[in-house]
Amino acid sequence: MLPVFLRLKLRLLVNSFRRSPWQAVGLAVGVLYGLGVAVFGAVGLTALRLVDADGARTIVVIAGSAITLGFLLVPLVFGVDDTLDPRRFSLFGIPNTRLATLLAVSALISVPSIALAIIALASVVTWSRDPGSFVLAVLSAALILATCVLGARVTTSVAAFLLASRRAREFMAVVGILVLVLLSPAGVVLANADWSANGGAPARTLADILAWTPLGAAWAFPGDAARGDWGGAILHLLFATAFVGVLWLAWRALVAWMLVTPEREARVKAYTGLGWFDRLPATPGGAVAARSATYWIRDPRYRVSLLMIPITPFLMMVPLLFVGVPVEALALIPVPVICLLLGWSVHNDVAYDNTAIWLHVASGTPGRADRWGRLFPALVLGIPLLIVGSVVSAAVHGDWIVVCGLLGVGAALLFGGMGFSSVLSARFPYPVVRPGDSPFSSPQSTGATSAVVQSVAFLVSVVLALPALGFAALGLFGPDGWFWASLAAGLVVGLLALWAGVRFGARIFERRGPELLSAALLN
């Protein structure tokens, strides 16, 4: 029966390329990228054959632990499409242990597993220094492959229960992103650490710690043997083998459980009232604003974007903080960046409607009502953020006069970006993730238009803010009066760009209604 499962997994892998041309190209690029990274890692491991045993062991254990951690966490945090879910075989009457074995072996036919196999085999070359270390290196390669594949199967199955609903998957993905953000300072510290200090003692200490964890044990014991520590090698070998045994027992238990447990059903949430439609005026503009506000609150595509907007400036600040930039200077970054991203975020708002844009076209919604209504959530959110954020940033900076500069720069970026985005969203909508799909998935079709529109929207937003930015810079290094000039320039340019953008965007929307509907149907 094993050949049947292997042929099935191979057929599923091949069929993944029989989608739309752009999806096939994306998959091909992903495969080539993964195999390229594997080949690069194999070359590096082969080169470590010429490095002393202590140095090679340190590098292999640290890098290998990171690889194992990725196999364990990625399915749990971001979820994967399990093409061979055990529940799909519940009616075939295959014994639990046999089914678990077949599914585990068939999991070797995947791009991550093949890439891992290349790296694991290359580690055998690294430790082929004497017969003893060579034998242990072969065992290590087998244990590495078993640990990562079984670990991925276990976490994938756990994710199948925990992430049964789309909202749960999106929540875990957001949690994963937040964890990466919180760990980024640690990454910066590790990247800037002096690993050569005391002959590489910090790196060796980290490798020694990882060697006694499930992440690094399978990678460590050939290096122990190569440097003459046979006692440590045997202990790490036993520890790695025991962990594989634990993973196997967990995987077999999960298979048995999944075969008799139905999938979790997402709860249907009941809503009362009309929400924002009760709160806003019963006018065309009010209806569009209510629908846009509902999207921003309930649509995960908007929620993920809104979550990333405040995170981005802090990601920018972390490396600057570690290279010695004062906190007083870093306090001036968040408000302009958030305003820039918030104003830029609506440059393709029409495309998120998908086929629902026909409501606007068929009802003859005035272009101005559509443009202002779509900007309503961004304005309601952006203006308080601009004011409160500027006050807080000025307090951290230590000079209250910079409030004027922050307000000017933020207003130019926010209002100017919204104005230009109002034109672009009506003239150049490009495909986005469809409603109901995961916000982390790829759109159904892509092209050069998306990259060009995004870049132009971003660039023009910055250009519109250049006068306010210039005056604010002069205020930082000169008289405080320049901050007032920045405030005036930012408000004038931003509000003028917003008014002009809405006006011209409204004309384009009214003229191109059929084209917008056609683009939505082809998305």
Assign 443 a pLDDT band (cuts: 50, 70, 90): low
Residue with more model confidence, 319 or 416: 416
Residues 158 and 227 in one domain: yes
Residues 365 and 442 in one domain: yes
Judged against a pLDDT cut of 60, whether residue 54 lies above it is answered with yes
Residues 343 and 253 in one domain: no
Q: What does pLDDT average to over the chain?
A: 81
Of 93, 74, 238, the closest CA to residue 156 belongs to: 74
d(CA 365, CA 384): 29
Residues 213 and 238 in one domain: yes
Least-confidence region, from 40-44, 118-122, 334-338, 362-366:
362-366
Assign 257 a pLDDT band (cuts: 50, 70, 90): confident
Percent of the chain with pLDDT over 70: 82
Residue with more model confidence, 204 or 443: 204
Mean pLDDT of 36-63: 86
Contact 109, 4 (CB under 8 A): no
Residues 248 and 299 in one domain: no
d(CA 379, CA 141): 56
Select the highest-mean-pLDDT range: 193-202, 295-304, 371-380, 428-437. 371-380
Contact 331, 397 (CB under 8 A): yes
SS3 call for 283: coil
Residues 355 and 480 in one domain: yes
For residue 264, is it within any domain?
Answer: no
Tens digits of residue pLDDT in 5-41: 878 877 777 776 676 665 666 667 777 877 888 888 8
- Among residues 225, 259, 293, which one ends one of the domains? 259
Q: What is the pLDDT of residue 26?
A: 63
Mean pLDDT of 437-445: 56
Mean pLDDT of 108-136: 87
- Among residues 230, 259, 288, which one ends one of the domains? 259
d(CA 243, CA 351): 49
d(CA 497, CA 406): 18
Residue 278 corresponds to which tokens in the numbers above?
Answer: 């009760």
Q: How many domains does the chain have?
A: 2
Mean pLDDT of 103-130: 87
> At CB < 8 A and 24+ separation, what contacts does 198-207 make?
200/54, 200/55, 200/58, 203/58, 203/62, 204/54, 204/58, 206/58, 206/62, 207/57, 207/58, 207/61, 207/62
Structural domain range at position 485: 276-522
Residues 319 and 202 in one domain: no
Q: What is the pLDDT of residue 164?
A: 58
d(CA 293, CA 306): 13
Tens digits of residue pLDDT in 486-523: 999 999 999 999 999 999 999 998 888 777 777 666 55
How many other CB atoms sit within 10 Å of the CB of residue 257? 13
Hey, what's the torsion of the CAs at 499, 503, 504, 508, to 10 degrees?
140
For residue 217, is it within any domain?
Answer: yes
Tens digits of residue pLDDT in 171-181: 666 666 666 65
Tens digits of residue pLDDT in 358-391: 788 778 888 898 899 889 999 999 999 999 999 9
Q: HSE on the CB side for 309, CA within 13 Å?
A: 22
